[in-house]
Amino acid sequence: MFHPNFKEMERAYGFDDVAIVPGSVTINPDHTDIHLSIENPVVFIASKELNFPIPILASAMDAVVNPATAIQFGKLGGLAVLNLEGIQTRYDNPDEILDEIAQTPENEITSLLQKIYSAPIKENLIGERISTIKQGGVMCAASLTPANTKQLSPIAKEAGMDILVVQSTVTTARHISSSYRGLTFPELSQKMALPIIVGNCCTYGAALELARVGVAAILVGIGPGAACTTREVIGVGVPQITATLGCAAARDTYFKETGDYIPIITDGGIRTGGDLCKAFAAGADAVMIGSPLAQAIEAPGRGYHWGMSHPHQALPRGTRIKVSNRAPLEQILFGPTSVTNGTQNLVGALRTSMGVCGAKTIKEMHNATMIIAPSIKTEGKYFQASQNTP
């Protein structure tokens, strides 16, 4: 007997559920243009458009980005985001703290991180860390949570920050609170007069509202990161392919409304070049990655990676994972590589995928056909699976 459902649910897809269909025309990977442009849609000055040769951002996580890696990543063509509420701005000598985190047993790590991140943020260190990055000759992006943005963003701007990233587990254009006046993005954009990237979100409606309040780019992804346990702890999130498709549709709706193009940045869940390429085919203009870069020899995490919400005092939503130091940062991005699992030469993978899809630009890659293909990683791979090939 038919009866109505209390709720209708749609199927959602992650990276392992889909595949990219090759195009009918192929092009040489060397002919692809993969650059990323970010501008301030509220206070736009043509000469202030920021361009990056590769569309990859390094996550604002203490195991991934410190001033030294931010400089190196910038010189390689990407944009690294420094966590202004992390170890770098709480401790004069962060290396001692990073050593302690790497040496702590698993059963003690969460309580240790809660203690470490309870130390006060030192405003003088914000200026020092940003100045160090700027002296390295690269663009500086820095991340704050909405609760601390009003207080700390002017200090970061004064020190030379080029891009502000306002980031939390879930960020929306409208926030209801009885305890404090919520952050207003139009007001913030006018005050800062520099590009503001905002995240994270995972739906068409939330992304469209963020675009309409004047942000420069939108981070997409709730809970997919390798060190994040948000989905296990509070049960929220949307698999990244579906989330990217929805937010990319919001970007296109906003572009039709205004003529302003707001880049979509898929943030989290990307482990291999294949995942990265699928994100672009699903509509991303750039990606933000953490764990693949935490594996770099130069990464500050000493072979470990942990989530930004791990040290929460009341409800931790992360875990420390061992990723090991596997290769130099440049090799992870550009190769050459001798591993065959797709974890190195990420830029080469993107260019090659675009080439077989006949896409000269990232926007043309958005037109690539995608199919639901849960067998894409297992079909014909019996011997790989049985021999446990990495």
Nearest to 22 by CA among 354, 390, 374: 354
Q: How many CA atoms lie within 13 Å of 33's alpha carbon, on the beta-carbon side?
A: 7
377's tokens: 């990683």
Residue 43 confidence (pLDDT): 55
Residue 222 has pLDDT above 50, yes or no: yes
Residue 16 confidence (pLDDT): 95
**Mean of all residue pLDDT scores within the chain:** 91
Residue 47 confidence (pLDDT): 44
Residue 92 has pLDDT above 70, yes or no: yes
Of 202, 320, 351, 357, which one is the catalytic site residue? 320
Task: Please state which of the ranges 33-42, 54-63, 180-189, 218-227 shows the lowest mean pLDDT.
Answer: 180-189
Buried b (16+ CB within 10 A) or exposed e, 134-149: beeebbbbbbbbbeeb
**DSSP designation for 283:** T
Please tell me the distance from the alpha carbon of residue 266 to that of residue 217, in angstroms, as a whole number.
11
Does 357 qualify as catalytic in the annotation?
no
Residue 335 confidence (pLDDT): 95
Of 228, 247, 277, 357, which one is the catalytic site residue? 228
pLDDT tens track for 364-383: 999 999 999 988 887 877 77
pLDDT tens track for 14-24: 999 999 999 99
Q: What is the pTM of this model?
A: 0.94
Architecture of domain 34-327: Alpha-Beta Barrel (3.20)
192's tokens: 């800062």
**DSSP designation for 23:** P
94's tokens: 């962060």
Indicate the Cα dihedral angle 69, 73, 78, 81, nearest 10°.
10
Task: Please state which of the ranges 132-146, 169-183, 311-325 shows the lowest mean pLDDT.
Answer: 169-183
Does 277 qualify as catalytic in the annotation?
no
Residue 372 confidence (pLDDT): 96
Nearest to 77 by CA among 284, 329, 365: 329
Question: Averaged over 193-200, what is the pLDDT?
Answer: 91
Residue 42 confidence (pLDDT): 61
Residue 338 confidence (pLDDT): 82
Residue 180 has pLDDT above 70, yes or no: no
